[in-house]
Amino acid sequence: MSLLLGAAFAQSAFGANVVTVQQGGVGRWAGIAAKECGIYGKRYKAVDAVCYYPVDIQTTPGTHEIALWDQDGKQHLGTLKVQKADFPNVDMPLPEKLDRFLHVSQEDSERASKERGSIAKVLGGGSDDPRFSLPLGAPAAKLPKSEDDFGSERRFDQDHLSLHSGRDYPVGLGNPVKAIAAGTVVLAADHFFAGNSVFIDHGDGLVSMYFHLQSIAVKDGDTVKRGQRIGKIGGTGRATGPHLHLGLRWLGKRIDPALLLAKPTALPSVSDSKDEAQHKIEKAEHREPAEKDAPVVDDES
């Protein structure tokens, strides 16, 4: 009897359709078969009947209303709480050969500014139906553990700071880079900071980006399949060595790509029990400090 009462109390105290998500994370609303989802005044499709709510790396802690429309079109409302994440600061002096990325010439500065313009046009993603399922596919055949570098503020010298909004995977030079899901190549070009870059739109506002490639095997407008080779690992642009930088935007929000490469059930969900919610928060809070001498650098600006 008391056990039942305890469960009922936990449900009512914590079951008011609330989910807590860290900056750069993704919330989930499982338990009701969903057709469409809403947050930030946007309405978009559910992925395999589940709603996901991306939270930008720099979202101010606070609450957002979330919505879910079930298969019968009935609307359910909930609350997403944004929790501040504890991202590391990393000192990362650049070697002399990369000096042109610190003391940028007028010409390079104009070039980078033009590139930012073309990048900004594709980062919001299209509103097509999702062409992906979760988890996403790995971007390399053998994907090593990334540096725990998502969200880190990198200090190249006293005057140059950069927010790292993706993850770096130490995959070796020349290895194939693979599309993490089906989609359309919306931008494939050589950029000043990011080197050879590929941006893929996967529908539902999800865009993936792959930087510092040695070579690019696709072009603007190409349709790609999940796992298709889109280029080779390199160290072009502002990179101290070969690696893959993977970035993700969902509804324009910068999110940790590692979260969508893992099982979606690990994401915090509206349907979590109090214990599950607590466990997921603790797990997200437990971040190892990034290595002081992390060997690679870049950003997406």
Please report, as ranges, the residues that interact with Zn ion according to CB under 5 A.
168, 245, 298
Is the CB of 272 or the CB of 298 nearer to Zn ion? Answer: 298
Of the candidates 136, 139, 201, the one whose C-alpha atom is nearest the C-alpha of residue 176 is 139
Residue nearest to Zn ion (CB): 245
Residue 275 phi/psi, 5° resolution? Answer: -65, -45
Report the nearest approach of Zn ion to the CB of residue 19 (Å). Answer: 28
Which residues lie across from 13 on neighbouring strands? none
For the sheet containing 89-91, what is the strand order? 89-91, 153-157, 160-163
Is the CB of 243 or the CB of 280 nearer to Zn ion? Answer: 243
DSSP the chain: -HHHHHHHHHHHHHTTTEEEEETT-EEEE-SS-EEEEEETTEEEE-BTTBEEEE--TTPPSEEEEEEEEETT--EEEEEEEEE---PPEEE-PPPGGGGGGTS--HHHHHHHHHHHHHHHHHHT---SPP---SSPPPSSSS-PPPPS-TTPEEEEETTEEEE--SEEE-PPTTPEEE-SSSEEEEEEEEETTTEEEEEEE-STTEEEEEEEESEE---TT-EE-TT-EEEE-B--SS-SS-BEEEEEEETTEEE-HHHHHS-GGGS-BTT--HHHHHHHHHHHH--PPPPTT--------
Report the nearest approach of Zn ion to the CB of residue 258 (Å). Answer: 12
Is the CB of 30 or the CB of 94 nearer to Zn ion? Answer: 94
Report the nearest approach of Zn ion to the CB of residue 245 (Å). Answer: 3
Is the CB of 81 or the CB of 116 nearer to Zn ion? Answer: 116
Report the nearest approach of Zn ion to the CB of residue 250 (Å). Answer: 18
Is the CB of 80 or the CB of 260 nearer to Zn ion? Answer: 260
Report the nearest approach of Zn ion to the CB of residue 246 (Å). Answer: 8
Report the nearest approach of Zn ion to the CB of residue 168 (Å). Answer: 4
Is the CB of 178 or the CB of 245 nearer to Zn ion? Answer: 245
Residue 230 phi/psi, 5° resolution? Answer: -115, -5
Is the CB of 154 or the CB of 253 nearer to Zn ion? Answer: 154
Report the nearest approach of Zn ion to the CB of residue 143 (Å). Answer: 15
Report the nearest approach of Zn ion to the CB of residue 298 (Å). Answer: 4
Is the CB of 53 or the CB of 211 nearer to Zn ion? Answer: 211
Q: How far apart are CA 197 and CA 71, in angstroms?
A: 39
